[in-house]
Amino acid sequence: MPQPLITLTTDFGEASPYVAAMKGVIFSFAPEVQIVDLGHQVPPQDVWHGAYFLAQAVPFFPPHALHVAVIDPGVGTQRRLLYCEAGPHRLLLPDNGLITFLADAQPLRRVVHLAEPNYWRPTPSRTFHGRDILAPVAARLALGEAPERLGPPLEPVELHRLPIAQGKATPQEIEGSIVFVDHFGNLITNLGMDLLAQAGWTPTPGSELRLSIPAAHPCRWVQTYGEAASGELVALFGSGGFVELAVVNGSAAARLNLPRGSMITLRR
Show contacts with a copy of itself in window 10-49 (CB under 8 A). Answer: 11-25, 27-28, 31-32, 34-45, 49
Residue numbers 185-214 binding a copy of itself by CB under 8 A = 185
DSSP-derived secondary structure letter, 58: G
Whether the Cβ atoms of residue 180 and residue 164 lie closer than 8 Å to each other: no
Kindly tell me which of 41 and 262 has the beta carbon lying closer to a copy of itself.
41
Kindly write out the interface string for residues 83-102 of this chain, putting x where it contacts a copy of itself by CB under 8 A and - elsewhere: --------------------
d(CA 148, CA 36): 25
Q: Which of 238, 252, 258, 264 binds a copy of itself (CB under 8 A)?
A: 238
Q: How far is the CB of 238 from a copy of itself (least distance, A)?
A: 6
Q: How far is the CB of 149 from a copy of itself (least distance, A)?
A: 23
| d(C-alpha 7, C-alpha 160), whole Å | 23
User: According to CB under 8 A, which one of 76, 152, 200, 206 is a site residue for a copy of itself?
Assistant: 76
Figure out which of the listed residues 152, 153, 239, 259 binds a copy of itself, where binding follows CB under 8 A.
239
Strand partners, 68: 8, 92
Beta-carbon contacts of residue 31 (< 8 Å; ≥ 6 apart): none
Q: Which is nearer to a copy of itself, 60 or 173 (CB)?
A: 60
Instruction: Tell me: does residue 164 bind a copy of itself (CB under 8 A).
Output: no
Q: What's the min distance (Å) between Cβ of 11 and a copy of itself?
A: 8
Coil, strand or helix: which one is 232? coil
Among 226, 231, 259, 261, binds a copy of itself (CB under 8 A): 226
Minimum distance from CB of 87 to a copy of itself (Å)? 13
Q: Among residues 58 and 191, whose Cβ is nearest to a copy of itself? A: 58
Nearer residue to a copy of itself within complex by CB, 56 or 106? 56
75 binds a copy of itself (CB under 8 A): yes
How do the residues of the chain divide into helix, strand and coil, expressed in percent and rounded to 5? 25, 30, 45
The residue (of 172 and 207) whose beta carbon lies closer to a copy of itself is 207
Per the CB < 8 A criterion, the answer to whether 143 and 238 are in contact is: no
Q: Which residues contact 36 (CB under 8 A, 6 or more apart)?
A: 5, 6, 7, 8, 65
The one segment of 60-68, 146-154, 195-203, 260-268 that binds a copy of itself by CB under 8 A: 60-68
Of 53 and 83, the one with the shorter C-beta distance to a copy of itself is: 53
Q: What are all long-range contacts of 160-166, with beta carbons under 8 Å and residues at least 24 apart?
A: 160/79, 160/95, 160/96, 160/97, 161/97, 161/99, 161/100, 161/103, 162/47, 162/48, 162/51, 162/97, 162/100, 162/101, 164/100, 164/101, 164/104, 164/190, 165/190, 166/190, 166/195
Q: Contact with a copy of itself (CB under 8 A): which of 206, 249, 259, 261?
A: 249
